[in-house]
Structure 1
Amino acid sequence: MELLRNLFEGFPNLWGGGVAHSVLILSLVIACGIILGKIKVAGISLGVTWILFVGIVFGHFNLNLDEHLLHFLKEFGLILFVYSIGLQVGPGFFSAFKKGGFTLNMLAITTIFLSIVITIILHFTTGTPITTMVGILSGAVTNTPGLGAAQQANSDMNGIDAPEIAMGYAVAYPLGVVGAIFSLLILKYILNINTSKEEAEAEKGLGHLQELTVRPVSIEIKNEAVDGKKIKDIRPLVNRNFVISRIRYHEGKQETELVNSETALHIHDKILIISNPIDIEAISVFFGKQIEMEWEQLNKNLISRRILITKPELNGKMLSQLKIRNNFGASITRINRSGVDLVATPNLQLQMGDRVTVVGSELAVSHAEKVLGNSMKRLNQPNLIPIFIGIALGCILGSIPFMFPGIPQPVKLGLAGGPLIVSILISRFGPQYKMITYTTMSANLMVREIGISLFLACVGLGAGKEFIETIINEGGYIWIAYGVLITVIPLLLTGIIGRYVCKLNYYTLIGVLSGANTNPPALAYSNDLTSCDAPAVGYATVYPLAMFLRVLTAQLLILCLG
């Protein structure tokens, strides 16, 4: 019994209660939290946030860690979490501002701005400390890195932790999840959505997704000006990004063939083109008219296969340098990077981990596979040097003070903002300098989950001692209402603006709103409403910027009003 008591409460003669005690408490908090996170009510789960609540319970009963060890593990977990997020979102961070993504990101910024305004109004009208309000804000928009950034900023400014930040977060988070989903449901009725019409448009990639996705289209050539011309001569005339994948000649043998730059086109030939939806109409008008064709049924000798780029020497090379079509008779038609399909233009730079769609005969595709790699074993080897160099640079960047007019204290990016910015920059620009920054999705997810689990467990343990007292005797239950206002009002207002001003498709809109709140349960709900990928594309387009702004604004609120 004495052994068990010491394991749970700590060995009195050992620093921090002993290693066994610390590991046991952390392991139990994380394991119990993850188990509870599997439970769904009406299809909704709080996921890993249960770790925070289990930590609060353990902390309340004084099953805790040494405060210095708790602080270190919390910050280390936060660094791992935000750095892995940066590696994931980095490749698409800057491209999300181009053309179609600009409007979506402006809407996300509107949502973030409105939530901050409501937070500041509640702070001044109710007298609630800004530390508590920032915790409520982070919980209401389900943004855990924002919670960490606020705690880091407060610690740097005042030299102490503020448990009320974690308390506000814990109180507001559950209704932050439910309130976001409820808001998306309300918007459906406020906007009088015809779901079948919206889904049909979303599946075609119309609207604001036209430049963020790719689509195959079959075309019969009717333009006499094209007759007899080679593809390399036609491309400058069209002035659009497209790839011609296959051709079926009008005369001669009726099987489909792959094309290359020397292939000549003739009237009534049928071609398969891959391009962005925004360019499809112009391309179709130039060549002829769109038709329906089952290409896979016309030539059983041609296959299509997705191949992973796993050879380090290909990192940063342009697609035209591979000469896949000339050397092997295979064709690369599209490239999937970080879940987004790109048109395989000759000047596109490749990155480790890209998935390229290769079309050709079995032999040609096999040869292309050898050139590209397609070795999961090679990808499974972790590239730890860029990770730890990036974390070190992130800590340095996060510690540099910046002075801004009107802010008495120097602003630091902190251990949330610094590693996040460095990881975004490294993952985006590293391949141009032959730096391999790719990690497999499973490896990235493992690092992220370990980081967030450590962080939430330590936050819960630190806040547990005063949590019940604050909620019951100090009016903490009112924070729930504040959280609901911060969650619901910005989503409804931005949803109305997005629909009536920006003319967004409903499924794209709810994906954008979910991304603006960095809310995975809301995205899961949005995906369940439709078979198209419009919510996921909208979410992925705004998520990088929304995450960055949530982290930065949480710190600025503490520094400006703390």
Structure 2
Amino acid sequence: MNWFESLFFEQSALQAVCVISVIIAIGLGLGKLRICGISLGVTFVFFTGIMAGHFGLAIDPAILKYAEDFGLMLFVYELGLKVGPGFFSSFRTGGLKLNMLGLGLVLAGTATAIALSYILAIPMTDMVGILSGATTNTPSLGAAQQAINQLGLPAEGAALSCAVTYPLGVVGVIIAFALVRKFVARKSDYEPHHQGESDNTYVAEFHVTNPGIGGLTLRDIHKLVTTNFVISRIWHGDDVSIPGPDDTLSIGDRVLVITTEDEVARLTIFFGEKSERNWNKPDINWDTLDKNLVSRTITISKPQLNGRRLDSLKLRKHYAVNISRVSRSGIRLLARPNLILQLGDRLTIVGTPEAINKVGALVGNSVTDLKDPNLAAIFIGMVLSLIAGSIPITIPGISVPIKLGLAGGPIVVGILIGRFGPHFHMVTYTTRSANLMLRGIGLSLFLACLGLDAGGKFLDTIMRADGLIWIAAGFIITLLPSLVMTILSMRLWHLDFGSAAGMVSGAMANPMSLTYANEITPGDDAPVAYATTYPLSMFARVVIVQLLIICFV
């Protein structure tokens, strides 16, 4: 049995793979268990690593550090790559409000941590770990450890304080939501206050009664207004047609317009009158509008179209079809002529069945071709992430420059490549399953190594008076800002409960509280708000913990 003992207890590369794999497998298995309706998911890998470290399992420190850093970088970069295509679009209207509220929550938690550091006499090298654990934000812990190491100080306290405060950080946000739901929320708070906010497009029907535009072509009409809109169909009496730039509008015509909800009032004045019919219901059968015209969704799967402008395809000229919307990473975009197409974009197209089939052949329309992951973009992005994370950023008034590090660099580069990569003909598309797989592998590696590193002294830390103070401080940092910001966002900024809970979950980087919020609220407001808020809030926390180390250590 000596071979078996050496496989798990004699430090080597093989032993490191075995130990980390066992920790991840057990952690993921236990993470599926539900207690009071709540499961910890991948987070349980962290606690499994702690228990393994407590019982004496250890791997080579160099391999441990490599696996931890690689896992963190892979997870954060893939997250940035996924949200990048729709990240900047999310800042419009409601997205900007959600991100500002998320940053407010981040600053409130940071202020609470600073105050508790002085009140409870907790060194800032330990408090940054408490803050990371209380906000369940392991990337910020990685950034804090790097900043502490740059100053030549031991970072062990940060990892331990994060480990002991993490469990209540997970459930603290859920407790805040439960309290709001029980004592504050009203029935109206569960109704979405901003319908369509998760969808950047809005469909409206207008009656042309404005004599100022009668007799003008669509090309001339688009020159008159700066509003972005696409006319999908025109009714001349009972005849329905797909409009082209040289088609003329007449008084009495009806037009079906794709725009944003904020522009509806302006377009109503421009065209003359808005129909009361709701064209945004999910059960509308578009094919019944005209027996010769159908609406279909096709997918861009040919790599050579990646980075091309929509108008360069000349679909209207060659095929007499109209593109009304483009769906990208769950965000529906207006089909503007200058829109840069990306591999994986889904085009909503109106035309005859024969013409749509020809356009489908032109763009590929093959989901099978999209299943192969584009690994080049991943590894190129990782190199750029390391470069970006290593650049020193000088802030006036602070003697030591900060760095984005392994947590901040990858998400910034991931977002930028995801958004602008196709402009340089870089294929960044990855299937949802492949992206989730890579993110899951990266996060599991990071949590397993982080727990294994902290596990040796975990229980001893809890039994100390300092450990109990850390737990109390972490719970205050979790509960108080989450509770206050959820209530304020509902009462002062008029968010529905689902959007408020999703925003708080995203700012706290807490997918477990998101699951809870999603189960008790209708619609997709909670996950949409989470996805909108998470990237900027996580980036802010990564920078803030480094500033705390530089300013208060």
TM-score, structure 1 as length reference: 0.90
1:514 matched residue in structure 2:
505
1:199 matched residue in structure 2:
191
Name the CA distance, whole Å, in 1 between partners of 2:182 and 2:209: 45
> Does residue 1:186 correspond to 2:171, yes or no?
no
- Residue of structure 2 aligned with 1:165, choices 148, 158, 162: 158
State whether residues 199 and 532 of structure 1, in contact with CA within 8 Å, keep that contact through their aligned partners in structure 2: no
> Does residue 1:277 correspond to 2:258, yes or no?
no
Structure 1 pair 354/398, CA: closer, same or farther in 2 (3 Å)? Answer: same
Which stretch has the larger CA shift, 43-52 or 453-462? 43-52
Provide the aligned C-alpha RMSD in A.
Answer: 2.5
Residue 20 of structure 1 aligns with an amino acid whose one-letter code is L
Deviation (angstroms), 1:238: 4.5
Name the CA distance, whole Å, in 2 between partners of 1:306 and 1:480: 52
Q: What are the within-5 Å matches in structure 2 for residues 57-136 of structure 1?
A: 57-136=51-130
- Residue of structure 2 aligned with 1:247, choices 234, 256, 262: 234
SS in 2 for 1:41: coil
Residue 554 of structure 1 aligns with an amino acid whose one-letter code is V
Structure 1 pair 533/326, CA: closer, same or farther in 2 (3 Å)? Answer: farther
> Does residue 1:385 correspond to 2:372, yes or no?
no
Deviation (angstroms), 1:100: 4.1
Name the CA distance, whole Å, in 1 between partners of 2:219 and 2:521: 40
Q: What are the within-5 Å matches in structure 2 for residues 162-561 of structure 1?
A: 162-188=155-181, 192-195=185-188, 199=191, 201-203=193-195, 205=196, 209=197, 213-251=200-238, 253=239, 256-287=240-271, 288-292=273-277, 295-561=286-552
Name the CA distance, whole Å, in 2 between partners of 1:191 and 1:59: 43
Deviation (angstroms), 1:339: 1.8
Deviation (angstroms), 1:54: 0.4
> 1:217-247, CA deviations, whole angstroms, 9 ceiling, x for partnerless residues?
2334444444444322333344321112123
Residue 310 of structure 1 aligns with an amino acid whose one-letter code is S
Deviation (angstroms), 1:191: 5.1
Residue 538 of structure 1 aligns with an amino acid whose one-letter code is A
State whether residues 318 and 346 of structure 1, in contact with CA within 8 Å, keep that contact through their aligned partners in structure 2: yes
Structure 1 pair 437/175, CA: closer, same or farther in 2 (3 Å)? Answer: same
Structure 1 pair 340/31, CA: closer, same or farther in 2 (3 Å)? Answer: same
State whether residues 202 and 534 of structure 1, in contact with CA within 8 Å, keep that contact through their aligned partners in structure 2: no
Which stretch has the larger CA shift, 450-459 or 136-145? 136-145
Structure 1 pair 525/259, CA: closer, same or farther in 2 (3 Å)? Answer: farther
State whether residues 52 and 460 of structure 1, in contact with CA within 8 Å, keep that contact through their aligned partners in structure 2: yes
Which stretch has the larger CA shift, 44-53 or 398-407? 398-407
Deviation (angstroms), 1:309: 2.1
Name the CA distance, whole Å, in 2 between partners of 1:510 and 1:350: 33
Name the CA distance, whole Å, in 1 between partners of 2:522 and 2:296: 23
The count of residues paired between Structure 1 and Structure 2 equals 546
State whether residues 497 and 521 of structure 2, in contact with CA within 8 Å, keep that contact through their aligned partners in structure 1: no
> Does residue 1:8 correspond to 2:8, yes or no?
yes
Residue 128 of structure 1 aligns with an amino acid whose one-letter code is I
> 1:283-319, CA deviations, whole angstroms, 9 ceiling, x for partnerless residues?
2343322232754433354333332223333223222
TM-score, structure 2 as length reference: 0.91
Name the CA distance, whole Å, in 2 between partners of 1:345 and 1:509: 32
Residue 177 of structure 1 aligns with an amino acid whose one-letter code is V
Structure 1 pair 335/58, CA: closer, same or farther in 2 (3 Å)? Answer: same
Deviation (angstroms), 1:500: 4.0
State whether residues 164 and 458 of structure 2, in contact with CA within 8 Å, keep that contact through their aligned partners in structure 1: no
State whether residues 219 and 291 of structure 1, in contact with CA within 8 Å, keep that contact through their aligned partners in structure 2: no
SS in 2 for 1:158: coil
Deviation (angstroms), 1:190: 5.8
2:13 matched residue in structure 1:
19
Structure 1 pair 459/235, CA: closer, same or farther in 2 (3 Å)? Answer: same
State whether residues 60 and 464 of structure 1, in contact with CA within 8 Å, keep that contact through their aligned partners in structure 2: yes
State whether residues 502 and 527 of structure 2, in contact with CA within 8 Å, keep that contact through their aligned partners in structure 1: yes
SS in 1 for 2:449: helix
Residue 432 of structure 1 aligns with an amino acid whose one-letter code is H
Name the CA distance, whole Å, in 2 between partners of 1:40 and 1:248: 55
Deviation (angstroms), 1:128: 1.9
State whether residues 163 and 458 of structure 2, in contact with CA within 8 Å, keep that contact through their aligned partners in structure 1: no
> 1:328-367, CA deviations, whole angstroms, 9 ceiling, x for partnerless residues?
1222111122221111122222222222222222222221
Name the CA distance, whole Å, in 1 between partners of 2:348 and 2:170: 37
Structure 1 pair 402/202, CA: closer, same or farther in 2 (3 Å)? Answer: closer
State whether residues 70 and 442 of structure 2, in contact with CA within 8 Å, keep that contact through their aligned partners in structure 1: yes
Deviation (angstroms), 1:46: 1.5
State whether residues 512 and 535 of structure 1, in contact with CA within 8 Å, keep that contact through their aligned partners in structure 2: yes
Deviation (angstroms), 1:408: 4.7
> 1:79-129, CA deviations, whole angstroms, 9 ceiling, x for partnerless residues?
111111221222333344445433322211111101111111111211223
Structure 1 pair 265/42, CA: closer, same or farther in 2 (3 Å)? Answer: farther
Name the CA distance, whole Å, in 2 between partners of 1:36 and 1:249: 63
Name the CA distance, whole Å, in 2 between partners of 1:46 and 1:191: 27
Name the CA distance, whole Å, in 1 between partners of 2:518 and 2:185: 19
Name the CA distance, whole Å, in 1 between partners of 2:426 and 2:246: 35
Which stretch has the larger CA shift, 95-104 or 24-33? 95-104
Residue 36 of structure 1 aligns with an amino acid whose one-letter code is L
